[in-house]
Chains A and B, each alone.
Chain A
Amino acid sequence: MDLLGFARGPALKVALVIFILGVVWRIVGFALLRIRRDLNKPRASVFKFLTGGVIAVGTRSWPHPEFIARTGPGEALGYSYHLGLFAVVLLFTPHIIFLGSLFGIIWPGLPSSVITVISVLTLTLFLAVLFRRVTNPVMRMLSNFDDYFSWFITMAVLVTGLAATAHVGARYETLLAWHILSVDVLLIWFPFGKLMHAFYIFPSRAINGAVLARKGATS
């Protein structure tokens, strides 16, 4: 078996199994902890309690007006590279075909040249994100292996994908194999690190918004 066959064969299968089991366990593992009963009298109806959760998903998607002067640039950077990643992952035709083989549906993609431009922009933003993480005293203090490895493996997927598309550095099959291998590593790492925020972000906002609504507070 050659490297490409290994990358998209057994390696991908193992990675997907670890990814699925890991994600499920990461969610079930803490959900099994006891749920502490809130003995306080609810300050809002069940309807407000539930809508508070839904509203929080929306309100936390946008910088709070009170803080936007301080947080706006960082949040713009965060949004930009996430949008770039979504575009590259979900709107590049070869990716659509691969995802279609997994889920059975396909959708229209963007031309390769557009994806290449978006990839280069996203890669540049990714470098800016790292620069910010190591130069901003707060982020540097909070950062640990998880932050840097999650950045590194996502960057590796981007770089190898770009190299494969541009046929730069080695034979196409070899570059594609490295690209798929980097995706395999990302899938294996996913449940163990902060990449899990892809699954947490909306439930986290919703649950905390609902808890605050129960207290009679807005979020």
Chain B
Amino acid sequence: MSDTAGALVANLAPAQARTPEARVAGAMKGFVQEVGALSAFRLESCIHCGICADACHFYIATEDPQYTPIWKVEPFKQAYKREASPFAPLFKLFGLKREVTADQLEHWQHLLFDSCNMCGRCSLICPMGIDVAALIEQARHAMFDAGLAPKELYQKAAHQRDTGQPEPSAEPYLDQLLGIGKRFGVDIPLDNPEAEIML
């Protein structure tokens, strides 16, 4: 079993079964590991102008400031500043950036998974040119590692790993594809080495 598959299986345990510390450690480790120079630059560049809120459907519809796109990655920005930014030792030494808590991450589940459809309008409006949607995507990965993604996603991921298809079906995926190809007279390429397109 690959590391990824191992992590997947580990994360299939309900989030409640993991200690709060383990959940936070998982999320922050995932994020800080994934944060490269490009994402760091994006996090460093934010000037707190709040303009991204004016592009977000969730904010426009509700006028609730918590739906401000860049706010959706706030705990991860906090973790980056504390753990990986150029002045991280100072942030830690003087307690300027607090450690992210499990409660915080649980609150952010709603903001990251239920309140963003990755439309990317926030990335289009940002005067600093920050790709906010890309940051949200990375934060989602970290939440997955922490066992804090919606359980349906873990179930679909596990199903995909076991059967090669995300949704349950009456007949195997391979048979379905062959059937579709035969019915419509289309040659569906399957299991081609070094294929450029993966269905």
Least Cβ–Cβ distance between B150 and chain A, in angstroms: 25
CB of A142 within 8 A of CB of B128, answer no
Alpha-carbon gap, A136 to B68, bound state (A): 12
CB of A205 within 8 A of CB of B37, answer no
Q: Select the residue from B65, B70, B129, B131 with max chain A CB neighbours within 10 A.
A: B129
Question: Chain A: interface secondary structure?
Answer: helix
- B115-135 interface (Cβ within 8 A of A): 121, 123-131
Q: Taking CB as reference atom, which chain A residue is nearest B131?
A: A208
Known: A26-B86, A208-B129, A212-B131. A200 touches B124 (CB 8 A): no
Known: A64-B125, A74-B49, A143-B48. A29 touches B131 (CB 8 A): no
Using CB atoms and an 8 Å cutoff, list the residues of chain B in contact with chain A: 34-38, 40-42, 44-45, 47-51, 53-55, 59, 63, 65-66, 68, 70-71, 84-87, 90, 96, 121, 123-131, 196
Q: Select the residue from B86, B131, B196 with max chain A CB neighbours within 10 A.
A: B86
The listed residue (B47, B53, B85, B90) touching A138 by CB distance below 8 A is B53
How many residues on the A side are at the interface (Cβ–Cβ under 8 A)? 51
Alpha-carbon gap, A104 to B96, bound state (A): 40
CB of A197 within 8 A of CB of B45, answer yes
CB of A67 within 8 A of CB of B86, answer no
Q: Mark A1-41, 1 if CB is under 8 A from B, else 0.
A: 00000000000000000000000011011111111100001
Q: Taking CB as reference atom, which chain A residue is nearest B34?
A: A36
Using CB atoms and an 8 Å cutoff, list the residues of chain A in contact with chain B: 25-26, 28-36, 41, 56, 60-61, 64, 66-67, 70-71, 74-75, 78, 136-147, 192, 194, 196-197, 200-201, 203-209, 211-212, 219
Q: Taking CB as reference atom, which chain A residue is nearest B53?
A: A138
CB of B40 within 8 A of CB of A30, answer yes
CB of B66 within 8 A of CB of A141, answer yes
CB of B87 within 8 A of CB of A29, answer yes
Alpha-carbon gap, A26 to B48, bound state (A): 18
CB of A204 within 8 A of CB of B45, answer yes
The listed residue (A31, A61, A142, A201) touching B48 by CB distance below 8 A is A142
CB of A26 within 8 A of CB of B37, answer no
CB of A30 within 8 A of CB of B125, answer no
CB of A197 within 8 A of CB of B47, answer yes
